[in-house]
Amino acid sequence: MPDREKYPLPGHIRDAVVNRAQLADAFNTTEPTIDRMRKDGMPVKEEGSNGRSYQFQLSDCYAWKMAREADRHAEEKQVADSVRQMRLELLGGDHNDSAEQLLSPKQRKELYEAEHAYNKLASLRGEMVSRAEVEDLLNKVFDLVRKSVNGMPDRLSRDAGLSGRQAEQAVAIADDILSDLHRTLTDFADVADTGAEHDAEILEAAE
C-alpha cells in the first residue's frame, strides 16, 4: 500500500473516492494516462467492469504518484552522480575538450556511454528536447514576429495617423529589430551546431 503518512494529501484537500475522469482532472492529466498509471501499479479501490467505472482513493493514488516521482528523481540523481564521478575520475576533476583528447579510446567510450545514459534518461522524463523541436519552434516564433513587425508600420500609419516621414522611421526600426533578432538566432544556431557535433560524437562512441 502507498505510504500515506510519508506522502499525505496537502492539508487543504479532503480525501475522496473518485472515478477515472475525476482523478485525471485532479492530476491535471488525461484518462489514458490514468490507465497507464493504473497498469503500472497505482492502487484501485474498486475494479471497473461493464457499466461500472474504476474507483480510486485519492489519498492512495496521490501517495503512490509522489513515491514514484521520488524514485525517479533518485534514479536520475544516481545517474547524474555516476556521470559526474566518472568525469572526475577520467578527467582528473577538469572536464574539457583538451582533456578528453588525452583519454584512451576505451576511457572516452566509457565517458560517452555514461553521458549518453544520462541524456537519454533526461529525454524520457521530458526534461530534454531535441534540437529539431527547438529549431521548429524558433522558426515558427520568428515567422510570427517577422510578420507582425513588418506589418507594424502600415498599422501605425493607419491607426495612429503617422506621417510619411514617421512611417519611414517605423520601417527602419522594424528592420533593425528583425536584424537583431536574426543575428541572435544565428548565434544560437552556431552554438547548437557545436553542441550537436559533440552529441554526435557521444552517440557514435556509445554505440
Distance of alpha carbon 65 from alpha carbon 71, whole angstroms: 10
Q: Is residue 100 pLDDT above 60, yes or no?
A: no
Q: Grade residue 206 by pLDDT with cuts at 50, 70 and 90.
A: very low
Q: What per-residue string of b and e applies to 37-46 under the rule 16 or more CB within 10 Å gives b? A: bbeeebeeee
Q: How many residues does the chain have?
A: 207
Q: Grade residue 192 by pLDDT with cuts at 50, 70 and 90.
A: low
Distance of alpha carbon 125 from alpha carbon 71, whole angstroms: 13
Note the pTM of the prediction, 2 decimals: 0.44
Q: What pLDDT does residue 95 have?
A: 47
Span 108-163, pLDDT tens digits: 677 677 777 777 776 666 666 666 777 777 778 878 888 888 888 888 888 888 88
Span 28-66, pLDDT tens digits: 989 999 999 999 999 999 988 877 889 999 999 999 999
Cell of 49: 467492469
Q: Is residue 1 pLDDT above 90, yes or no?
A: no
Distance of alpha carbon 138 from alpha carbon 133, whole angstroms: 9
Q: What pLDDT does residue 66 have?
A: 92
CB-based contact 183:142 (threshold 8 Å)? no
Domain boundaries, the chain: 131-206
First to last CA, the chain: 40
Q: Which of 56, 64, 50, 52 is nearest to 3 (CA)?
A: 64
